[in-house]
Amino acid sequence: MSFAVEAGAITGLIGPNGSGKTVTFDCITGFYVPDAGRVRFRDRDITGLSPDRIAIHGIARSFQITGVFRRLSVRQNLVFAAQDKRIARSLAGIASRAAVDAGRLESALDRFGLRGVADEPVASLSHGQQKMLELAGLTIMQPRAQLFLLDEPFAGLTAAEIADSLTLLEEARGGGLTVLIVEHNMRVIMSVCDRIVVLDRGENIAEGVPAAIQTDPRVVEAYLGRGAGAGRP
């Protein structure tokens, strides 16, 4: 496969179960080292770098299985997310909270609807609230992320929760951030994405604006015609 993500745009990455969407994220973010091919971010070749180095370069990722610390409180999770990872590599950096921008942290609590549960342990939160916490954390990373990779951020959320969690995407659009989003909810994908890349069995079979993707015969055959987004996580 080969595709480019345009800076400042929201790009959707869709395709049937097992087509390689999460593996693509794993290769971009250093969880897997690709056997062949290169991953480029801005003017840099990031192939083979470790996940923490890639995060420092400005790529934030959310996980299909939510990646939050369940035994910590919501606020503690956000403090961790907001810590400057360049200095957190030293023990002094981990011990110090000086690097955390408290204002940004507090504002994230409000914007993602987490104010009322700020001091609750994450394990007591609903699935939807945990997803919101993960997204909130991405927005306050230090150094700030420029590219957000979101792996099924809306899976298992109610319609009301989905409406709320569009916050991140709206902020991204307003703030010139770049988003690559994997999602089976076609209503959301078709409404938020500028462009869509379609994967089938590890290859990108189509790429274009939502209207063109919806009627592309190869995409309908490989994915959309098979009841895509019909409620499976």
Residues that bind Mg ion (CB under 5 A): 21-22, 64
| Residue 20 binds: one of ligand ATP, Mg ion, none (C-beta under 5 to 8 A by kind) | ligand ATP
Q: Binding residue for ligand ATP (CB under 6 A) from 23, 72, 118, 220? A: 23
Decide if residue 85 touches ligand ATP (CB under 6 A).
no
Place of tokens 């890639």: 54
Nearest to 151 by CA among 124, 181, 108, 125: 181
Alpha-carbon Rg for the chain, nearest whole angstrom, is 18
- Give the pairing of strands 178-182 and 147-151: parallel
**How crowded is residue 35: how many other Cβ atoms within 10 Å of its Cβ?**
6
The distance of closest approach from Cβ of residue 195 to ligand ATP in the complex, given in angstroms and rounded to an integer, is 18
Q: Binding residue for ligand ATP (CB under 6 A) from 11, 12, 19, 130? A: 19
Decide if residue 30 touches ligand ATP (CB under 6 A).
no
- Site size for ligand ATP, by CB under 6 A? 9
Q: Is 46 exposed, middle or buried (0-12, 13-18, 19+ CB in 10 A)?
A: middle
Of residues 60 through 79, those in contact with ligand ATP by CB under 6 A are 64
**How crowded is residue 7: how many other Cβ atoms within 10 Å of its Cβ?**
11
Task: Report the distance separating Cα 177 and Cα 198, nearest Å.
Answer: 22
| Residue 11 binds: one of Mg ion, ligand ATP, none (C-beta under 5 to 8 A by kind) | none
Decide if residue 17 touches ligand ATP (CB under 6 A).
yes
| Residue 142 binds: one of Mg ion, ligand ATP, none (C-beta under 5 to 8 A by kind) | none
Q: Binding residue for ligand ATP (CB under 6 A) from 4, 18, 52, 110? A: 18
* CB 40 within 8 Å of CB 209: no
Which residues is 148 bridged to in the sheet? 60, 179
Nearer to Mg ion, 155 or 193 (CB): 155
Which residues of the chain form contacts with ligand ATP (CB under 6 A)? Answer: 15, 17-23, 64
